[in-house]
Amino acid sequence: MLARATDLPLETILGAPDVDTLGLDSLSLYDVLFELEKAFLLEISDEEAGQLHTLLDFEALLQRKLAEAAVVERST
């Protein structure tokens, strides 16, 4: 999804130690976040977005958000 939103090759993204080394501007990062929100039907706050520095950070946030959504869905 990051590759699609940024037009960067997947190899470049997977080889990057952190998101900052990809050379993305803030608008590109918000495009990525928007795509994630749309694809997974969730909301990512500005505070959460500011804590995303590595691909593992993105993965951890998505896992947490999806788990939270599943709990809410089961309780309704």
Domains with residue ranges and CATH for the chain: 2-75 (1.10.1200.10)
Q: Are 44 and 36 in contact (CB under 8 A)?
A: yes
- Whether the model pTM is above 0.85: no
Paired tokens of 45: 């706050």
Paired tokens of 4: 């699609």
Q: Are 43 and 37 in contact (CB under 8 A)?
A: yes
Taking 90 as the threshold, does the pLDDT of residue 27 lie above it? no
pLDDT band at 34 (very low <50, low <70, confident <90, very high): very high
Q: Which residue has the tokens 């749309």?
A: 38
Q: What's the confidence (pLDDT) of residue 72? A: 82
